[in-house]
Structure 1
Amino acid sequence: MKTTIQHFENRAGGKGWIHIEHLLDSDALGCHVKMYARVTIDPHASIGVHLHQGDGESYLIEKGTALYHADGVTRTLHPGDHTWTPNGHRHGIENPGEVELVLIALIITQE
């Protein structure tokens, strides 16, 4: 499978640039997985806080330090840390550092 990379500026109202490398295409994802990707967030960039409706999302931090915002609470994440944002909840993530933040993102439908 050929991976594709998408580039987004100010994703979900965030700041700066993020890059999404899709690790599986839609044929390989199955009916309940919406996205399985490696996400790179440039230094001082972010994905803005957004609501999940009909799905949930997990992040697994691979490289860098993150500030993770979920339902009004902020915590610091490091490589090996993971999160889960269920259907009906809000989250966002930012890279406060000088190096890229790299994470694996998995979005699963919640029926």
Structure 2
Amino acid sequence: MTETDLHGPANVKTIGCTPFLYDSDQALFNVRSGISVLDALSQSSDLLSLARSFTEDAAFTRDTDRHAWAAHYLTVMGKALIDDVIQTLMPRTARTKTESEAEIPECS
């Protein structure tokens, strides 16, 4: 395996720092760490494509807001995935972790 293969985009994983869907000021969900960024971006594309379809439906369906709410939740999830990928790809300042911090992702 070459150096490029080891560090290419297929081997970059999400850091799991992005919360989404809040109750008051507490996040109900977070993006999971360890997901391939390519898979995360693919899933985000699917979520946002579905959200687009639901917003079109919401524009023409006046008797209910279910399409708008479905689009809202899909958009929130898709955005969280993209935000986590961005945080994963942005350079962070290096620091030495203590033993108790070894498994905790660095979130800013």
TM-score by length of 1: 0.23
Higher strand share: 1
Bigger share in helix: 2
**Which structure has the greater CA radius of gyration?**
2
TM-score normalised by length of structure 2:
0.23
